[in-house]
């Protein structure tokens, strides 16, 4: 019986470690996408304004009752998706 519990405990520890690594990687890529050094300063401000404008537009059109954007609202943000795809392409190319 202890062998089974040891196996389950090891599995849970590895699962928690994998989730932590996945979360850290996601945060790192999104941070690099929004604030990374690979984009010139003038482009960063334009991209931030475009994404913020898109966020405000999505909020005003689809989400009038709640103060927070939902996952479905974020899925409708085409400029944010394009920025993240391009960052992932550049980030993992080296």
CA 4 to chain centre: 36
pLDDT beyond 70 at 92: no
Q: Of 15, 18, 14, whose CA–CA distance to 26 is shortest?
A: 18
Check if the beta carbon of residue 64 is closer than 8 Å to that of residue 73. no
Q: Of 69, 36, 32, whose CA–CA distance to 52 is shortest?
A: 69
N-term to C-term CA, the chain: 48
Q: What was the pLDDT predicted at 25? A: 80
Helix 41-62 / helix 2-35 crossing angle, nearest 10 deg: 110
4-44 tens-digit pLDDT: 888 888 888 998 988 888 888 888 777 776 666 555 556 67
Domain layout of the chain by residue ranges: 2-91
């Amino acid at each position: 019986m202890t062998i089974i519990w040891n196996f389950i405990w090891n599995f849970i520890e590895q699962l928690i470690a994998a989730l932590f690594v996945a979360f850290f990687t996601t945060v790192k890529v999104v941070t690099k996408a929004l604030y990374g050094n690979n984009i010139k300063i003038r482009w960063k401000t334009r991209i931030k304004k475009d994404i913020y404008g898109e966020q405000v537009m999505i909020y005003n059109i689809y989400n009038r009752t709640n103060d927070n954007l939902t996952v479905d609202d974020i899925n409708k943000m085409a400029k944010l998706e394009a920025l993240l795809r391009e960052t992932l392409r550049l980030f993992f190319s080296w």
